[in-house]
Amino acid sequence: MYDVQVKMHLSDQENVLAYGIVTIENTLRFSVTVRKYKKDSEEIAFISFPRILKKGEWSNVLTIDPELKEQIQKAVGEALKYEIMKDWYLAEIEDVQVTPIHVTKQGKAVIYAMASVKICGITIHGITIKKGEHGFFLNMPQFQIWILTFTKINHPHRHHLWLHP
């Protein structure tokens, strides 16, 4: 059994699902492509290893032992699953503290509470829970970086957080 590391990227090409790099024992690197084709209205995917075109014929650049090939296929499958699902991952929330406040109107939104959330060992203070035209939402804290310029400390990466009653 070898140390096999794989990094995959999704593709926009019609017959290519993904492409990536396989690294064996931190020494040997080569590219792979996950391709697809249709057979009897069924879509079939396979891993394409490096090939070269010589005198009009394609030949394999690598000859891979069956055990290693199976290990590479599993690692490519796992890396592809991760690449597809990585936007669904949310870090575990370690602690939440919500303090209800006297309802105050600020612009078009009404502030209902202040919150602090601990995620990945970092506590974010000053989160406001507001209700606007489309329901409840979170407003992340801001700080002043230059004269009269405000920047949000952080914001939900990849997703907007909307709370529905």
Architecture in CATH for domain 4-88: 2-Layer Sandwich (3.30)
CATH topology match: 4-88 vs 93-163: yes
Residue 148 pLDDT > 70: no
93-163 has which fold?
Arylsulfatase, C-terminal domain (3.30.1120)
Best CA proximity match to 21, nearest among 43, 47, 45, 46: 47
Write down the pLDDT at residue 147. Answer: 58
Write down the pLDDT at residue 11. Answer: 92
Write down the pLDDT at residue 109. Answer: 80
Confidence of residue 165 (pLDDT cuts 50, 70, 90): very low
Pair 7, 20: CB distance under 8 Å: yes
Distance CA 22, CA 89 (A): 24
Sheet holding 162-163, edge to edge: 93-106, 109-119, 122-132, 135-139, 162-163
Cross-strand bridge partners of residue 138:
129
Q: What percent of the chain has pLDDT over 90?
A: 52
| Mean pLDDT, residues 36-64 | 92
Write down the pLDDT at residue 162. Answer: 44
CA-CA distances (angstroms) from residue 104 to 26, 68, 111, 124, 129? 58, 64, 5, 22, 11
